[in-house]
Structure 1
Amino acid sequence: MEDKFKVAVLVGSLRKDSLNRKLAEALAGLAPDNLAFDFVEIGDLPLYNPDLDDGDVPAAWQRFRSDIRAVDAILFVTPEYNRTVPASIKNALDVGSRPMGESVWNGKPAAVATGSPGGIGGFGANHVLRQSLVFLNVPAMQQPEAYIGGLMNLFDDDGKIAKPDTEKFLETIMAAFATWIARHVDR
């Protein structure tokens, strides 16, 4: 039997009871069996400063870069802050893309899911993130799009998806992501 594809999950919300972290956990739980998930923390990454790559590279950067190098693909799950991505996601992109010529992102397939309590489901953050992924040579899955609105009412008391139609949609997203990864990862 072929090994599972290793997928790093990056959650843009750092809040303890983050609805986007619950969404990420739900997505991982609804994925096909050929995907294995590793939630890679980004809240401890010092802000990117090129001077730090010339000396004592922060241990958190080293850990993060190593974690991303070790996976086949990336699942980004993030809220929208001020019509863009949270600083945690942008900083993770920057830390992983440097030093110049040593990007850990290069060629790794990705999926982007954004969630919000409102109806547009983080549409702005989703598209801003995709702009960076194009530059970083990260092939981002195009369809189905994952703008998940109404997060406040999406989960039951156990953190499970409370709406069967939404659960089915999230399964569809993860099945498409598994196919996307297989298409882009040489084995």
Structure 2
Amino acid sequence: IAAVVAGALSMAAGEYVSVSTQRDTEKAVVAKERRLIAEDPEKEFQGLVENYIEKGLTRATATLVAQEYSAHDPVEAHVQAHYGLSSEEFTSPWAAAFSSAVSFTVGALVPLLAILLFSGPWKIQATFVMVMVALALVGWLSAWRGEAPRLRAVIRVMVGGALAMIITGGVGHFLGVVV
């Protein structure tokens, strides 16, 4: 249980730091675009037109699109076209941290239950099997929900999970940790 709490808090802290950095970068990009537009609006407008031309529009259409998007909010038009970001909505490090902590905790329940339910010489094997079944189910459900190939997702999740468990067990064995 302590490992689950430690893992959840570690994941949450890592996610918070990572997403905070991403959010800082997003804000810096918006500030940069705002500054560039203020310094030379015509040059930036032409850059926006060129961006749309690179995406396959004719110059006339690209100019019209750039004019219409820029009329409402030129900073938003540039940030969206160049970076695929919003100038108003940024990622939330707190939401990411909470989501990561909850996801870790839910994912840890299967091995935790297996370790608590099984004893003796079959504890590790039972835990491995229960986790593999849970991973197969999660892989299948996520692929089904995303309308992606299910078998590929199941294999990828199961192989990744099996490798993680085997490597972790090997490190524990090498360090003399007994479960």
After TM superposition, the score normalised by the length of structure 2 is: 0.26
Query: Greater strand percent: which structure?
Result: 1
Query: Greater helix percent: which structure?
Result: 2
